[in-house]
Amino acid sequence: MDELSAAVKVEEISPVKKKVTIDVPWVDVKKERDAVYRNYSKKAKIKGFRQGKIPRKILETHYKEYAEEETVSNLVNKFYESVLKERDIRAIGQPDIEQKGIEEDKDFSFSATFEVEPEIAPQGYLNLILEKEELLVTDEEVDGRLDEIRKMFGTLEEVTVDRGIQNGDFVTIDFQGEVDGEFPEEMKKNDHFLEIGSKTMVPGFEDQLLGEKVGTTKGIKIVFPEEYQIRNVAGKEATFTVTIKTLKEKKLPELDENFVKNFEKYESLDALKEDVRKSIFEDHQRKINDDLRKQIVDQLLEQNDFEVPAAFVEQQIYFMIMEAQKRLISTGMDPQMIAQVSASWRDRYREEAMRIVKSSLLLKNIAKKEAIEVTDEDMEGRLKEIAQQYSQDYENVAESFNEDMKENVKSDILNNKIFDYIESKATVTKIEKRDAAHQEENR
């Protein structure tokens, strides 16, 4: 950078934005422009001249505008990157460049405005007051999970008795919706197979079919939620005409030793029950840890208010939208419909994206302040866990993980160590197990 002799001015516009102004001496401008024209001379094809032997004046006549644009681009890239490296500035995203072009025999000036990570001195992460639910698995939970497994092996049979629709039944229906006097094609379906109580339809739709019988045609009125994904019907009242064509119920197998034969890994019903209990235990452990971490993040964000780079937030929103689109595609929803409805999601995800970005930056700076790091032993241990989980050799797993995958594993380990550190310094009160309704309410 010294040999380029550029004058540099760095301004802090905000905690997350800087502006660099660079004056490039005319000698360097001329040198770069001459190099651009030499390259043009080698490649240009102009009638009456051999390549590499075209006079500069002729080249300027044909290519001056392009040559100066390329010169400016080269100078900006070279000096901007050099300044960032020399000043140890880590820019986020692409800079906003302002420049007025090249003037003969004059220094070339330009400015670059860009975002940076804020400098954070994390506060209030020690001596937090936290609540942690006791880890307990009840017999009722085990029975409920076993019933879910039995449903996987259940068979659908026609309902032969004269009765109405009940929760858990499966029906085939035709329906057509009407909104504002119109009948949208996307609100019409024939032979739609639906589990009553699955909550896959608009709220209120399935409930109004309870008690109805096969052969019935019924009018159903619902109101689409304000946040409904199809924006042109969100918040509006709709009327559906529904015809019930078939009614089936699921017959479950008996929970006995014969049922266990469906699974190669279990030799007895007790072994199945024990594995189910272990699975529920692990689920509860994850939920308890997630709840504890939510408490930690809530308190950290309350005590640390700072600005974050817009580029980080936009990137997080993009990831969230992509994940939501993948989930909808997996349900069989039309990709064009997904593209249409996802256009309105950016504002919906912004608040949560901001929370994720802020908490990530806070945790990163806590790790830096407390010298919390991921060791080679940590990485080796996690990769061995992954290998064991998928019944693979450790060496094969380690070789199959590229740098991005390893970086994700490293980030996960670091976050776990940070949360564990904060918990170890907190006052944690054990509380009784909450019911499912309370857990759902606080998600």
pLDDT tens figures, 245-259: 999 999 999 999 999
Among 355, 371, 364, CA closest to 415: 364
pLDDT over 70 at 430, yes or no: yes
> What's residue 441's pLDDT?
52
Kindly state the percentage of the chain with pLDDT values over 90: 78
Architecture of domain 266-438: Orthogonal Bundle (1.10)
Higher pLDDT: 324 or 97? It is 97
Nearest-angstrom CA–CA distance, 368 and 439 = 33
Sequence ranges of the chain with CATH classification 1.10.3120.10: 266-438
Correct CATH for 7-116 of 3.40.50.1480, 3.30.70.1050, 3.20.20.140, 3.30.70.100: 3.30.70.1050
* DSSP H or E segment with residue 17: strand 17-24
pLDDT over 50 at 1, yes or no: no
Tell me the average pLDDT across 268-291: 95
Tell me the average pLDDT across 394-412: 93
> What's residue 332's pLDDT?
77
Kindly state the percentage of the chain with pLDDT values over 70: 96
pLDDT over 80 at 381, yes or no: yes
- Lowest mean per-residue pLDDT among 61-65, 154-158, 235-239, 342-346: 342-346
pLDDT over 60 at 177, yes or no: yes
> How confident is the prediction for the chain on average, in pLDDT?
91
> What's residue 176's pLDDT?
95
Sequence ranges of the chain with CATH classification 3.30.70.1050: 7-116
Reported as a pLDDT band with limits 50, 70 and 90, residue 42 is confident
Reported as a pLDDT band with limits 50, 70 and 90, residue 438 is low
> What's residue 48's pLDDT?
77
> What's residue 389's pLDDT?
87
Correct CATH for 155-251 of 3.90.1170.50, 2.40.30.200, 3.40.50.300, 3.10.50.40: 3.10.50.40
379-392: b (≥16 Cβ within 10 Å) or e: beebbeeebeeeee
> What's residue 3's pLDDT?
52
> What's residue 331's pLDDT?
76
Nearest-angstrom CA–CA distance, 216 and 271 = 47
Please spell the DSSP secondary structure of 249-287, one letter per residue: EEEPPPSSHHHHTT-TT-SSHHHHHHHHHHHHHHHHHHH
Higher pLDDT: 184 or 163? It is 163
Q: 435 vs 140, 143, 144, 149, CA distance in Å? A: 12, 16, 14, 22
Reported as a pLDDT band with limits 50, 70 and 90, residue 10 is very high
Higher pLDDT: 443 or 190? It is 190
pLDDT over 60 at 325, yes or no: yes
Reported as a pLDDT band with limits 50, 70 and 90, residue 186 is confident
pLDDT over 80 at 39, yes or no: yes
Q: Where in 35-169 does DSSP place strands (E)?
A: 91-99, 108-116, 129-133, 155-158
Nearest-angstrom CA–CA distance, 273 and 315 = 44
Sequence ranges of the chain with CATH classification 3.10.50.40: 155-251
> What's residue 2's pLDDT?
47
pLDDT over 60 at 4, yes or no: no
Reported as a pLDDT band with limits 50, 70 and 90, residue 67 is very high
Tell me the average pLDDT across 274-278: 96
> What's residue 439's pLDDT?
52
Higher pLDDT: 49 or 305? It is 305
